[in-house]
Chain A
Amino acid sequence: MTQSYTSRLTFLVKTAIRDSRKNRMRLVLFMSSIVLGVAALVAINSFNYNLRNEIDREAATLLGADLAASGNRPAEPGILGVLDSLPGEKAREMEMLSMSYIPKSDATQFIRLKALEGKFPFYGRIKAEPVSAAESFRSGPGALVDESLMLQYDLRPGDSIKIGKYMLEIRGRLSGAIGSIGAASAVAPAVYLSIESLDSTGLVQPGSLVNYAYYYKVPPEFDVEKWKSSRKKLFRSESLRVETIEDRKDNLNQAFGFLNSFLNLVAIVALLLGCIGVASSVLIYVRSKTNPIALLRCLGLRPGEAFLVYFIQVMALGVLAVLVGVMLGVMIQNILPFLLKDFLPVAVQITPSLRAISEGLVIGLLVAGLFSMIPLLQIRKISPLKTLRISYEEETSSGTDALGMLLYLVILAVLVGFLWLLTGSAVAALIYVGAILAAYAVLALVSSGIMRLLRRFIPREAGFITRQGLSNLFRPDNQTRTIMVTMGMGTAVLTTMVVLQSMLLRNVEMMDEGRQPNMILYGIETSQMDSLRTVTKSHGLPVIQEVPIVTMRIEGWKGKTKAEWMADTTMNSKRWAANREARVSYRDTIAADEKLVSGQLRKYKGPGDTIFVSLGTTFAEALGVDIGDEIVFNVQGSRMQTYVGSLREIEFRNLSTRFFIIFPNGVLEGAPQFQVLVTKAPDNASMTRYRGDVVRRFPNVSVVDLTTILQSVNQIVGKISFIIRFMAVFSLLTGLIVLISSLTLSKYQRLRESILLRTIGATRRQIIRINVTEYLFLGLLATGTGVIISLAASYAIARLQLKLDFVIDWWAVLLTMAGLTGVTVLTGMLNSRDILKSTPLEVLRKEGV
């Protein structure tokens, strides 16, 4: 051929445009897959990048200082001296949960107390109304009260609030605070006061759950990061958490890790479904184009050129779809911050993220190109002989040639790359791809197996309709495997999403079930116990549990002191385990929410006997000790040598008291301690009455109302689940496209058979019933296998990634399965409407049967 490369290409483009004239609508499914997949990717990634940028920008304001040190007990004088040596300003904060009493409404309210000393925050400001209140609460008996609480009880500046034993004047309303992330403040409204005032409340007692924080602002030229890293060892050995602005950025990014990984999961789902959608919709298109392709080949078009004609068509529409997808994604991204605004510590500015847009463009084009190539490569094998013999079967259609293999390898590499980009982990990406391949293999195997079984075991006594319908599944030219794989994969991905979503909700609901206590009273002095018990009973409430608590610290374990362990670089104990101020209880029995996994609870027989303690498995693992190992405790000054006697597994979703360390009875009775009382109020009214009474009579006692916490958690979960559903709609839409595509695949095959049946006298009703039988069986089989795969996948994701209990909402699963099977049958029926509407002859002529 003397023809130039460009004129040949021009011809191919021209042919591509001409050929597409009457068929552009046929590629709507293909385009929709890309539009939805790309839109989801762009929306989610844009939002994520914006959030990260915003967190970077706002980290200083969120921390409020250049360096913060915090812990659940006051800093030791030594370490405080080191911290205080920092140049610049300093401030102090104490934070705790407590009850408050509002005299104006005679109501009690669970609050989060934040007591400040110094000019904290150094960056950002406490938003108060009037503005002067942000300063005035710091002196005298003044408080700054969260606006939600002010609204709830119709409080105004000048009104009073009683916290513990102390009555404070409300100086203003708090409308925005530093370092408060929506979800955390939703648990209890915040009340700001001075540390001096907090001392006067009498709430801070040994054993009270107080968080201490020390804030520092250094001169701009001072390198606080360097200062901190040179004292790393020192801070490591203390139970203080030292945080700089840089650390806060990392922590915030981690805190949003769950949201991030969930959104990533949705993006991956949309992407995978998009890939399947692209491949199956283009396959349908290629099938419908067999005749024109065979003719073009007859007229002298080379196999590669025939491929190019359709590749040009598909890619032109693909590019258009990617652009539409990017635009849609940017639009949706504008909605996401609105949906998520309650959980974000910063107002996320909506700016289209160039990175997300370019990722969307590249990924969209790659998916469109690579996944459409899978079916398009078949074009090269369409024989020109098809023009003479319609039923001519290509000999080569079954095998995959070298080019096909190469394509699959490239696709695998690109998929790993995408997933790596999305999850940020090569291992995770490989696991995902491995799982996809495994799912593919399972579906292919099941379909082969079923075809084999049906061929052998179709009951002869079954009626003609059933036999005909089932036989369609293994007859030559059947689409059983293709449909099983595409539909099964689609179902698997979608159901995984549904199962995980319901599992998340169920795990939270489980907290609130059964006869669980809903009130915990902390900080009770031993001398108050009798009268508190009487008060509780007088309200008709049960004393479910009375627990003594002794605070102590770990001094050493397995023959070495803590300091020696800390200096030991081979130590693999977790810092939190070694450094915590341990709140220990004592008893000789196992609690209902515990399970003894090894050893046994050993009683203490009196002075001289060895003390055997029982540890929670998580704690024992974190500290690196096992049965028989020695642990030395410092119980408020006196040293106590103990040995690990047993290990317990503790159920942590249960909101009640639980202890990592349990001593036997008879050891700690004499040590300074406080008590905890656990009770359950049947309804809100009795809870309010009881709470009010306790707060009035025992101001030092903190009543933690678990119902409030549960309700807040439920609200948060409710909102999160709304977002989950909103995002799941994407996957659902793409999933539907995949479903319709895969079923349309079988349309051409069924068409010819049904026409012949009608020609020889089958009624419309019989044909419908044959089709329903086939599609119903296929639908049940594909969705059933998909569901089984999804259960395995969700089990893995729940246990390994989300660390949740594996609970299946069978109704959700059944509903999904029924819905998908229903849509299968319906789509199948819609596909055969051509046959039923027209006379056999019309179709025979059209199809050239």
Chain B
Amino acid sequence: MGLAATLDNPSEGRITLMGIPVNPLTEDQRADLRNKYIGFIFQNFQLLPSLTALENVMLPLELHGIRGAREEALNLLERVGLRDRSGHYPTQLSGGEQQRVALARAFINKPRILFADEPTGNLDGDTGAMVEQLMFDLNKDFGTTLIIVTHNPELAAKTGRIISLRSGRIVGDTKSNG
């Protein structure tokens, strides 16, 4: 995932993302690419502790210099059911709430690809299910390509294609009914 999301450099081989060859890009160009096309959801949420929920969500748009980020962010927080908690800091939110804020942040720049690293790994069953549902709903609405990295076969089964890896090698590639 690190390689696909342009976070890491391949030691060999070529990576092409949306027709753009990634290998020759500089760090700055990769940063721009991520900001424009890619969203992230992490197992441990990765919210900035010193930013409120609203500010965390606004961040990618502000980074892009887009006006009206606040409205957009509030709408998304509404969508994940946290509009009334927009002024809270991450430490004042539960794990499920934090991951919902992270979801809102991931979708705000309408990414073409969303990378989710064990998105429910740190959540209990019910909360995990709720976040999962929200993620798939948003995905459908925004028309994003969602790539989930997971050990959870049930979650994997909900996607349209499963690529299995073992020791860093692809061992299976199946279409499912997701």
With both chains docked as a complex, state the minimum distance between the C-beta of A8 and any C-beta of chain B, in angstroms.
6
Q: Choose the segment among A301-309, A435-443, A455-463, A579-587 that binds chain B (4+ C-beta atoms closer than 8 Å).
A: A301-309
- Given the known interface contacts A7-B65, A292-B49, A388-B1, the answer about A299 and B60 at a Cβ–Cβ threshold of 8 Å is yes
A295 touches B48 (CB 8 A): yes
Chain A residues 265 to 324 lying within 8 A of chain B, measured CB to CB, are 291-292, 295-305
Q: Nearest residue in A to B35 (C-beta to C-beta)?
A: A300
Q: Nearest residue in A to B60 (C-beta to C-beta)?
A: A299
Chain B residues 39 to 74 lying within 8 A of chain A, measured CB to CB, are 40, 42, 44, 46, 48-51, 55, 59-60, 62-65
- Given the known interface contacts A300-B34, A383-B8, the answer about A19 and B50 at a Cβ–Cβ threshold of 8 Å is yes
Neighbour of B2 across the interface among A8, A388, A848, CB < 8 A? A388
Q: Give chain A residues whose Cβ lies under 8 Å from the Cβ of B51.
A: 18-19
Question: Main SS of chain A's interface residues?
Answer: helix
A22 touches B50 (CB 8 A): yes
With both chains docked as a complex, state the minimum distance between the C-beta of A378 and any C-beta of chain B, in angstroms.
14
Q: Bound state CA distance, A20 and B34, in angstroms?
A: 25
Q: Give chain B residues whose Cβ lies under 8 Å from the Cβ of A4.
A: 65
- B112 interface residue, CB < 8 Å from A? no
Q: Bound state CA distance, A384 and B117, in angstroms?
A: 14
A302 touches B65 (CB 8 A): no
With both chains docked as a complex, state the minimum distance between the C-beta of A5 and any C-beta of chain B, in angstroms.
10
Count of A residues near B, CB < 8 Å? 35
Neighbour of A385 across the interface among B8, B27, B50, B64, CB < 8 A? B8
Binary flags per residue of A549-560, CB closer than 8 Å to B gives 1, else 0:
000000000000
Q: Give chain B residues whose Cβ lies under 8 Å from the Cβ of A384.
A: 7, 34
Q: Give chain A residues whose Cβ lies under 8 Å from the Cβ of B40.
A: 298-299, 387
Q: Give chain B residues whose Cβ lies under 8 Å from the Cβ of A21.
A: 50
Neighbour of A291 across the interface among B8, B46, B55, B105, CB < 8 A? B46
B42 touches A388 (CB 8 A): yes
B65 touches A298 (CB 8 A): no
Interface centre among B34, B48, B55 (most CB of A within 10 A): B48
With both chains docked as a complex, state the minimum distance between the C-beta of A397 and any C-beta of chain B, in angstroms.
15
Which interface class (under 10, 10 to 19, 20 to 34, 35 or more) fits B?
A: 20 to 34
Q: Bound state CA distance, A4 and B35, in angstroms?
A: 16
Q: Give chain B residues whose Cβ lies under 8 Å from the Cβ of A389.
A: 2
A22 touches B44 (CB 8 A): no
- A685 interface residue, CB < 8 Å from B? no
- A538 interface residue, CB < 8 Å from B? no
Binary flags per residue of B1-17, CB closer than 8 Å to A gives 1, else 0:
11001011000000000
Chain A residues 2 to 18 lying within 8 A of chain B, measured CB to CB, are 2-4, 7-8, 11, 14-15, 18
Q: Nearest residue in A to B27 (C-beta to C-beta)?
A: A303
- A1 interface residue, CB < 8 Å from B? yes
- Given the known interface contacts A11-B62, A387-B42, the answer about A298 and B34 at a Cβ–Cβ threshold of 8 Å is yes
Q: Nearest residue in B to A2 (C-beta to C-beta)?
A: B65
Q: Bound state CA distance, A295 and B101, in angstroms?
A: 14
With both chains docked as a complex, state the minimum distance between the C-beta of A291 and any C-beta of chain B, in angstroms.
7
- A23 interface residue, CB < 8 Å from B? yes
A18 touches B28 (CB 8 A): no
- B36 interface residue, CB < 8 Å from A? yes
Q: Nearest residue in A to B38 (C-beta to C-beta)?
A: A300
Chain A residues 507 to 561 lying within 8 A of chain B, measured CB to CB, are none
B62 touches A301 (CB 8 A): no
A303 touches B31 (CB 8 A): yes
Interface centre among B31, B36, B51, B64 (most CB of A within 10 A): B31
B63 touches A301 (CB 8 A): yes
Q: Bound state CA distance, A292 and B42, in angstroms?
A: 13
B117 touches A1 (CB 8 A): no
B2 touches A302 (CB 8 A): no
Q: Give chain B residues whose Cβ lies under 8 Å from the Cβ of A303.
A: 27-28, 31
Q: Nearest residue in B to A389 (C-beta to C-beta)?
A: B2
- B78 interface residue, CB < 8 Å from A? no
A297 touches B62 (CB 8 A): no
With both chains docked as a complex, state the minimum distance between the C-beta of A758 and any C-beta of chain B, in angstroms.
21
Q: Give chain A residues whose Cβ lies under 8 Å from the Cβ of B35.
A: 299-301
- B137 interface residue, CB < 8 Å from A? no
B48 touches A848 (CB 8 A): no
A385 touches B2 (CB 8 A): yes
With both chains docked as a complex, state the minimum distance between the C-beta of B164 and any C-beta of chain A, in angstroms.
19
- Given the known interface contacts A3-B64, A14-B62, the answer about A301 and B46 at a Cβ–Cβ threshold of 8 Å is no
Chain A residues 353 to 385 lying within 8 A of chain B, measured CB to CB, are 383-385
Q: Nearest residue in B to A1 (C-beta to C-beta)?
A: B32
Neighbour of A11 across the interface among B31, B49, B63, CB < 8 A? B63
Neighbour of A302 across the interface among B27, B60, B117, CB < 8 A? B27
Q: Bound state CA distance, A291 and B35, in angstroms?
A: 18
Q: Nearest residue in A to B39 (C-beta to C-beta)?
A: A299
Q: Would you give 28 A-B contacts (Cβ < 8 Å), ordered by A?
A: A1-B32, A3-B65, A8-B65, A11-B63, A11-B65, A21-B50, A23-B50, A295-B46, A296-B59, A297-B31, A298-B46, A299-B35, A299-B59, A299-B63, A299-B105, A300-B34, A300-B35, A300-B63, A300-B64, A301-B35, A302-B28, A303-B27, A303-B31, A383-B7, A387-B40, A387-B42, A388-B1, A388-B117
Of all A-B residue pairs in the complex, the 5 with the closest CB atoms, nearest first, are: A300-B35, A3-B65, A22-B50, A302-B28, A302-B31
A residues contacting B by CB (< 8 A) are 1-4, 7-8, 11, 14-15, 18-23, 291-292, 295-305, 383-385, 387-389, 848
Apart from A18-B48, A301-B63: 19 A-B pairs, beta carbons within 8 A:
A1-B65, A3-B64, A4-B65, A21-B50, A292-B49, A298-B40, A298-B46, A299-B34, A299-B40, A300-B33, A300-B34, A302-B27, A302-B28, A302-B32, A303-B27, A305-B31, A383-B7, A385-B7, A387-B46
